[in-house]
Amino acid sequence: MADSNLFYISLVLLPLILLFLLFLITRPRPIQIPIKKRHIFITGGSSGIGLALAHRAASEGARVSILSRSIDKLEEAKNAIRQSTGIDVAIFAADVRDFEAVQRAVDEAGPIDFLVVNQGVFVAQELEEQKLEEVRFIIDVNLMGSFNMIKAALPGMKRSRKDRGPGSIALMSSQAGQVGIYGYTAYSASKFGLRGLAEALQQEVIGDNIHVSLVFPPDTETPGLTEENKRKPQLTSIIAASSGAMKADEVAKKALDGIKSGSFTIPCNSEGILLAIATAGLSPQRSYLMAFVEVVAAGTLRIAALCFQWNWYGSIEKWHMQKNRT
């Protein structure tokens, strides 16, 4: 009887002890970052997730600047935001691969409180078939373009930060930046790179009260998705079929809510939450409750991940067998 009571007491005490330990050690600490009357600068802001983010930020009272390559698309986006919110946004035409052009846009825009590095290009193709020029283009826009944008904005973001309150840098990754998928070699490489950038950058800027977020959207209903589906390999479509597409506005809401709460990892759907827990690794975690879930669920989710890999490799093997018969 005593042994039984001791067992039940341990069953209650051990999780509580773990929760208390995690409360003490989780870093950085929780924070709320207000957006009203503050400057948010969004790259890739003329369409898709970037445009949806601009709509939401403007409707919440932020001063919004958007950047993309096409001045015509920027003008269309500006008019659309004005019609829906009654607010004018600032627009800047620049290629994120061109540091000098990005620097000029940032200087003209003025000090930034929220930087959302959202630009991205994607072409799904097997590495053997994909031209290296296209691989370089994907990495230059998605990864080097992010370095250029942050490098240009960071000095102004740090300046007078104590007087201006907390700042934020958000990087738009992808679920393909959490797990590699057939046909995503170049794209996954560019998006996995953002994780390393974000983790290291957070350590560099936390002392300046700037908080880094990494957003992991699934396939999103944007003009870019329509184009990428035209070239997507058949096996990519088979493997990725289980992940449904979200609307850009849904992703924007999840992203902006996570950015305002200073979350480092921002998943956008239930599948994304599981991926975030399964791939938590050494990433920062502000919530001790989420840290508890990550610790407790790690073993189970590893088994689930192996089941997914078993299914994916089974699909690949089946596809090659059918291809060899024809």
Q: Which of 68, 173, 190, 263 is catalytic?
A: 173
CA 191 to chain centroid, in Å, comes to 9
Tokens of 79: 């008019």
Q: Are 277 and 294 in contact (CB under 8 A)?
A: yes
Q: Which of 187, 190, 232, 254 is catalytic?
A: 187
Taking residue 210's Cβ as centre, other Cβ atoms within 10 Å add up to 21
Q: Please say if 36 is a catalytic residue.
A: no
- At 240 the three-state DSSP class reads helix
CA 44 to chain centroid, in Å, comes to 13
Tokens of 242: 């289980």
Q: Please say if 191 is a catalytic residue.
A: yes
Q: Please say if 146 is a catalytic residue.
A: no
Residue 63 bridge partners (DSSP): 39
Q: At what angle are helices 288-325 and 2-25 packed, to 10 degrees? A: 90
CA 42 to chain centroid, in Å, comes to 13
| DSSP, residue by residue, 74-133 | HHHHHHHHHHHHS---EEEE--TT-HHHHHHHHHHH---SEEEE---------TTTS-HH
Q: Which of 68, 188, 190, 191 is catalytic?
A: 191
User: Which residues are marked as active site?
Assistant: 173, 187, 191
